[in-house]
Amino acid sequence: MASIRLDQLTKDFGGLLAVDHVDVEIEDGTFLALLGPSGCGKTTTMNMIAGLETPTSGEIYFGDRPMSRVPPGKRSVGFVFQNYAIFTHMTVAQNLSFGLRVRKPRPSKTEIDSEVKRVAEVVGLGSMLQRKASRLSVNDMQKVALGRSMIVKPSIFLLDEPFSNLDAAFRAYMRAELKHIQHEIGQTMVYVTHDQVEAMGMADQIAVMNLGELQQFAPPLEIYNRPSNKFVAGFVGSTRINFLPAEKVAVPAPKGTDGGSVTLAIRPEYIGLVDPGSAEATITAKVDLVEPLGATDVIHLSWNRYDIRAIGRPGARPRIGDNIGLVFPFRHLLFFDDQTHEAVNGPYQA
């Protein structure tokens, strides 16, 4: 069993709280992403799970077993790092079989060969087994690194930004591959990334971190549609979410702490575009700039000195300087307290 529980996990690097009382619990077979900007504590958290760092306080449990005194080699965790560690003088097959060949007692040659073949198929190296690792592309090297960890069947698989050095097309390919592999073998995975697309696309559960603190722990779509605070709302999403002072927009808004002000937030793709005079329009804004991205356009608008981004279709592209009506659908509005930056329940949930 490899469920993981982080209980008030804390790491203090001489006054710098890298990880600050983090609580996370996942079931066996879960794909967990630790997501956040650089310096948020995600790698330190992973290093504590791996045993490469000792917690200052708090505990890590695999199943019911506390792990903080268990050495890394005894934890049954596999790693894949950003900088792949593979033996370049060996063939792909030799690299893959390495973890089995050093195991005691050593498995039979037939067993090793069949495992190497199986894993090579899974990671997409089936046709390259006899090739020297030094002659592989960087993409294939990372597949070898992945396969090498996989073959020893760790109960937990830890990946630290494994694809961040690779090109965008390969990352998109590997996202689907990794998610498929994880589905096939039901492996518990902890994936560290600063790329929200990777976290959203692959994870069952995302732990969003910032400055050592856990901001939100939830499934991807809940993180996206119900962010717990302003930081999470702004960090997740390919085109930046819009923030506007709620009092200036004619929508029923909740009150903040002590009756204080709140910020309204709406994701660009949820904004409807209509004629400027339309009764549906929540506000009317002026087009500043249109950025064509191919499948969609990002439309930059200004309204009362605020910048607003909306998503348009290339077939119906507005002109710069045009006024257009923006519809803010009620069910997609989010509100954040201006003092605490925490989410405030909007009327839509009542």
Partner 1 sequence: MARIRLEGVTKRFGDVVALNDLSLDIADGEFFTVLGPPGAGKTTLLRTIVGLEKPDAGEIYLDDRPITRVYPGDRNIALVFQNLALYPDKKVYDNLAFPLKQAKMPRDEIRRRVENAAGVLHIERLLNRKPAKLSGGERQRVALGRALVRDPRAYLLDEPLSALDALLRLEMRAELKHLQRDLGRTLVYVTHDQVEAMSMSDRIAVLREGVVQQVDVPENIYHAPANRFVATVVGSPPMNFIAVKVTGANGRLRAEHESFEVESLRDTGESLQQLAEGGVSYVGIRPEDVTIVEDGKGIPTTVYATEPLGGETIIDLELGHQVIKSIAPPTIALQTDAKVAIRFDAQRIHVFDAAGRSVMSAAGADGVFKVSFA
Binding residues (CB under 8 A) for partner 1: these are 37, 167-169, 172, 175-177, 179-180, 183, 197, 200-202, 220-221, 224-225, 234, 236-240, 267-269, 288-289, 291-295, 298, 300, 311, 314
- If the CB atoms of residues 48 and 285 are measured against partner 1, the closer one turns out to be 285
- If the CB atoms of residues 252 and 314 are measured against partner 1, the closer one turns out to be 314
In the complex, least distance from residue 32 CB atom to partner 1, rounded to whole angstroms: 16
In the complex, least distance from residue 76 CB atom to partner 1, rounded to whole angstroms: 26
Cβ-based neighbour number of residue 221 at 10 Å: 9
In the complex, least distance from residue 205 CB atom to partner 1, rounded to whole angstroms: 13
Among 330, 335, 329, 336, residue whose Cα is nearest residue 348: 330
Contact 170, 137 (CB under 8 A): no
- If the CB atoms of residues 16 and 176 are measured against partner 1, the closer one turns out to be 176
Among 151, 91, 99, 102, residue whose Cα is nearest residue 123: 151
In the complex, least distance from residue 188 CB atom to partner 1, rounded to whole angstroms: 17
Contact 347, 252 (CB under 8 A): yes
In the complex, least distance from residue 120 CB atom to partner 1, rounded to whole angstroms: 16
Q: How far apart are the first and last CA of the chain?
A: 40
CB-count burial class (<10 Å; 0-12, 13-18, 19+) for 73:
exposed
Both tokens of residue 257? 């702490």
In the complex, least distance from residue 44 CB atom to partner 1, rounded to whole angstroms: 20
- Say whether 138 sits in a helix, a strand or coil: helix
- If the CB atoms of residues 76 and 302 are measured against partner 1, the closer one turns out to be 302
Distances (CA, A) of 191 to 143, 160, 179, 207, 315: 16, 6, 11, 10, 39
Taken as a whole, the chain contains a residue count of 350
- If the CB atoms of residues 23 and 291 are measured against partner 1, the closer one turns out to be 291
